[in-house]
Amino acid sequence: MAWHSPRTVTKSLLITVSTLLILVLTLSFLDLRHRRTVFGLSSLVSSPPAPPPPSPAAATTLRANHPKLFAASGKWDALPQQIREDPYLTRWNKTIFEKAEELFTLPSVEYKVDGTSGVLDVAREVQLRIKHWAYAYRLSKQPRWKERVWKEVVVASGNSSEHSFGVRDDNWNTDHWLDVGEFLVAFAIAYDWLYDAWSTAEREAIKWSIINLGLTKGLEAHDTNAWFLMAVGNWNCVTNGGMVVGSLAVTRAYDPVPRDKYTPQPTLA
Ligand SMILES: *[C@@H]1O[C@H](CO)[C@@H](O)[C@H](O)[C@H]1NC(C)=O
Ligand SMILES: *[C@@H]1O[C@H](CO)[C@@H](O)[C@H](O)[C@H]1NC(C)=O
The verdict on the CB of residue 154 being under 6 Å from ligand 2 is yes
Query: Cα–chain-centroid distance for residue 148?
Result: 17
Sequence spans of domains, the chain: 2-33+67-250
Closest CA to 203 of 149, 140, 125, 265: 149
pLDDT under 50: residue ranges of the chain: 1-4, 9-10, 13-17, 19-45, 258-269
- The pLDDT tens digits of the residues spanning 227-238 come to 999 999 999 999
Ligand 2, residue 202: give the atom nearest the CA: 13
> Model's pTM, two decimal places?
0.77
pLDDT of residue 8: 54
- The HSE-up count of residue 202 (CA atoms within 13 Å, CB side) is 18
Q: How far is it, in rounded angstroms, from Cα 102 to Cα 234?
A: 30
Ligand 1 mean position, distance from CA 4 (Å): 25
Q: Which residue has the least CA distance to atom 1 on ligand 2?
A: 159
